[in-house]
């Protein structure tokens, strides 16, 4: 295809970018997706080790993937119905919250959730019921609005979202105070807050409500791992005439006469299009790729001063034995029963004894999958939130700026110390396992920035942008320029990014696409999708057609 023939260029191939690109391609537009990494997928990416183990970077569980689910509807609207299967986790306890002397299994459904927490903490029962009532109401109002068919007037909007208007933009800590909750009750209610990377003093109630509701609608894992999501979207994109180019880093988004005009690659090649959708980090998009001279002073100031959500450090662990019998549930482990003190420890960089851990047991979520681990082995990840910033890691500018950090002695020392602290805490939580480790690999926020170029190495994007809970929309003040991804107002995580991608494609096409596909509309043509052979490999598909057979692809077996 000639370089001047593109109708739209998407910079970055996270889930938000791929969803937007695939829907624009299904709408008949010529779409090019450019990805600086070796494979598409962003935080849905996987990697493989020892020809035996596959580890998910960001897909540890997904909510709301039942018959009425939002993510299945987004996939089905592209003709992908049946090409991604979701395994449901334990409905009576998909998340296990473990505090000193208290364990609570989180079930599906707001009523069951409120009842179980109230029974576990009877002295806080009234406050828990008030807190969950507010969050459930906000979640219901938000979902109803998201799936509504038509535009609403301001008066109608306010009438339909009274609880959101009162509490949505206030902090979770304010609602905790209003409900008179003890530190222990706050810890149980906010135990899953690392799912959005913010403590109760920083997160707004609308975000907490949306994320909690997402999982209370059922927790799932995609059969075959997170890469299946990206690969399926790539198939839809290519089937409808779009193109994915990996190992293609954009150096600049071009703006001419006040409107987007295309991109300039790092090697100087210019690719032109009247629409550019940036799935790159929002801060880097505004300040580096586009340039602050193309935006108003207030927006630039908000972006420079913005706070990022907290990042993670992750241990990828494989054992030569199966884990002791346990439910198909994640584990949220807390050293103490005061979560606000745990977040303060992070702010003060006191992590020699990690305050919290999240465990994701991949070999329980996708049992028997040949890509996860060999029979009789285990595959799981252990994660903890980290202090923000480079100084903690002994790094100056970060890998996105070209800094070579991996042989930095200060970085290696910090990484080794945190790895040991996480292993100690992990064995406190689930018992000894070190003697059975056959693969151990640590990833830091600096690693995450290296692969995704995300500011601060966080998968969750902006925490505050011009005020508590503030986040940008997908449309920008530059004509023809849009943004998608973890920093937009549609939320982070796989589904939040996918909804943002739908919203962006809808703004461009002038349609309420999410409402259409949730009601059953299919915009893509399933007949165009390629058949999948028995050895179908989502990692190979996610390299794009031009590099699908290139050397260097890690395989299992």
Distance CA 442, CA 285 (A): 28
Res 3 pLDDT > 60: no
pLDDT (average), residues 364-369: 90
pLDDT tens-digit map of 278-322: 999 999 999 999 999 999 999 999 999 999 999 999 999 999 999
**CATH topology (fold) of 310-455:** Polyamine Oxidase; Chain A, domain 2 (3.90.660)
**With bands split at pLDDT 50, 70 and 90, how would you rate the model's confidence at 420?**
very high
Residue 153's pLDDT is 67
The whole-number pLDDT of residue 2 equals 47
Q: Which helix (H) or strand (E) holds 61?
A: none
Domain boundaries, the chain: 8-46+61-83+223-306+464-547, 109-217, 310-455
Is there a common fold for 8-46+61-83+223-306+464-547 and 310-455? no
C-alpha separations of 500 from 167, 195, 404 in Å: 23, 18, 33
Share of the chain above pLDDT 90, in %: 88
244: pLDDT strictly greater than 70: yes
Helix (H) or strand (E) holding 95: strand 95-99
pTM of the predicted model over 0.75 = yes
Residues 219 and 366 sit within 8 Å (Cβ to Cβ): no
Is residue 87 pLDDT above 90, yes or no? yes
- Which two structure tokens, joined as six digits, stand for 190? 């906010």
- Write out pLDDT tens, residues 36-79: 999 999 999 999 999 999 999 999 999 999 999 999 999 999 99
Return mean pLDDT, the chain.
94
SS3 assignment for 351-398: CCCCCEEEEECHHHHCCCCCCCCCCCCEEEEEEEECCCCCHHHCCCCC
The CATH number assigned to the domain with range 8-46+61-83+223-306+464-547 reads: 3.50.50.60
pLDDT digits (tens, 9 = 90+) for 422-479: 999 999 999 999 999 999 999 999 999 999 999 999 999 999 898 888 999 999 999 9
Residue 1 pLDDT greater than 60, yes or no: no
Q: Which residues contact 323 (CB under 8 A, 6 or more apart)?
A: 361, 363, 364, 378, 380, 430, 433
Q: Residues 6 or more apart from 241 whose CB is under 8 A from it?
A: 25, 30, 31
pLDDT at residue 4, as a whole number = 60
Q: What is the DSSP letter of 552?
A: T
**pLDDT-based confidence at residue 152 (cuts at 50, 70, 90):** low
551's tokens: 């050397």
């Amino acid at each position: 295809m000639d370089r001047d023939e593109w109708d739209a260029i998407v910079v970055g191939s996270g889930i938000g970018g791929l969803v937007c690109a695939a829907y624009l391609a299904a709408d008949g537009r010529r779409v090019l997706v450019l990805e600086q990494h070796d494979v598409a997928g962003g935080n849905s990416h996987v990697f493989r080790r020892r020809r035996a183990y596959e580890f998910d970077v960001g897909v540890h569980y997904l909510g709301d993937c039942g018959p009425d689910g939002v993510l299945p509807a987004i996939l089905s609207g592209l003709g992908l119905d049946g090409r991604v299967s979701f395994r449901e986790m334990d409905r009576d306890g998909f998340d296990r919250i473990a505090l000193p002397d208290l364990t609570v299994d989180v079930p599906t459904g707001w009523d069951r959730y409120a009842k179980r927490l109230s029974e576990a903490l009877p002295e806080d029962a009234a406050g828990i019921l008030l807190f969950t009532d507010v969050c459930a109401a906000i979640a219901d109002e938000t979902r109803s609005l998201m799936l509504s068919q038509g535009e609403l007037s301001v008066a109608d909007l306010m009438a339909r979202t009274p609880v959101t208007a009162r509490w949505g933009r206030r902090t979770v800590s304010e609602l905790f105070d209003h409900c008179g909750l003890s530190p222990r009750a706050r810890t149980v209610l906010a135990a899953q807050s690392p799912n959005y990377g913010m403590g109760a003093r920083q997160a707004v109630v609308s975000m907490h409500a949306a994320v909690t509701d997402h999982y209370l609608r059922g927790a799932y894992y995609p059969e075959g791992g997170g890469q299946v999501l990206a690969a399926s979207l790539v198939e839809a994109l290519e089937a409808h005439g779009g193109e994915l180019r990996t190992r293609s880093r954009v150096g600049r988004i071009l703006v001419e006469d006040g409107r987007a005009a295309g991109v300039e690659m790092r090697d100087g090649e210019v690719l032109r299009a009247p629409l550019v959708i940036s799935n790159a980090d929002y801060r880097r998009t505004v300040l580096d790729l586009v340039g602050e001279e193309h935006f108003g002073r207030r927006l630039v100031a908000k972006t420079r001063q913005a706070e990022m959500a907290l990042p993670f450090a992750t241990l990828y662990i494989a054992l030569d034995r199966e884990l002791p019998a346990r439910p198909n549930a994640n584990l949220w482990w807390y050293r103490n029963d005061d979560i606000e003190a745990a977040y303060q420890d992070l702010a003060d960089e006191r992590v020699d004894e990690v305050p919290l851990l999240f465990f994701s047991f991949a070999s329980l979520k996708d049992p028997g999958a040949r890509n996860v681990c060999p029979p009789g082995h285990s595959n799981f990840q252990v994660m903890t939130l980290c202090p923000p910033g480079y100084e903690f890691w002994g790094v100056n500018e970060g890998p996105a700026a070209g800094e070579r950090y991996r042989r930095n002695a200060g970085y290696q020392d910090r990484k080794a110390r945190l790895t040991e602290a996480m292993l100690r805490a992990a064995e406190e939580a689930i018992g000894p396992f070190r003697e059975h480790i056959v693969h151990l690999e640590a990833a830091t926020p600096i690693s995450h920035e290296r692969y995704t170029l995300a500011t601060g190495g966080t998968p969750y994007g902006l925490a505050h942008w011009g005020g508590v809970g503030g986040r940008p929309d997908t449309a920008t003040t530059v004509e023809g320029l849009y943004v998608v991804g973890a920093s937009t107002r549609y939320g982070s995580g796989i589904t939040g990014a996918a909804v943002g991608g739908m919203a962006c494609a809808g703004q461009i096409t002038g349609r309420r696409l999410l409402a259409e596909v949730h009601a059953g509309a299919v915009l893509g043509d399933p007949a165009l999708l390629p058949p999948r052979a028995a050895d179908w490999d989502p990692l190979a598909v996610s390299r794009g057609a031009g590099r699908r057979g290139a050397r260097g692809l890690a395989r299992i077996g």
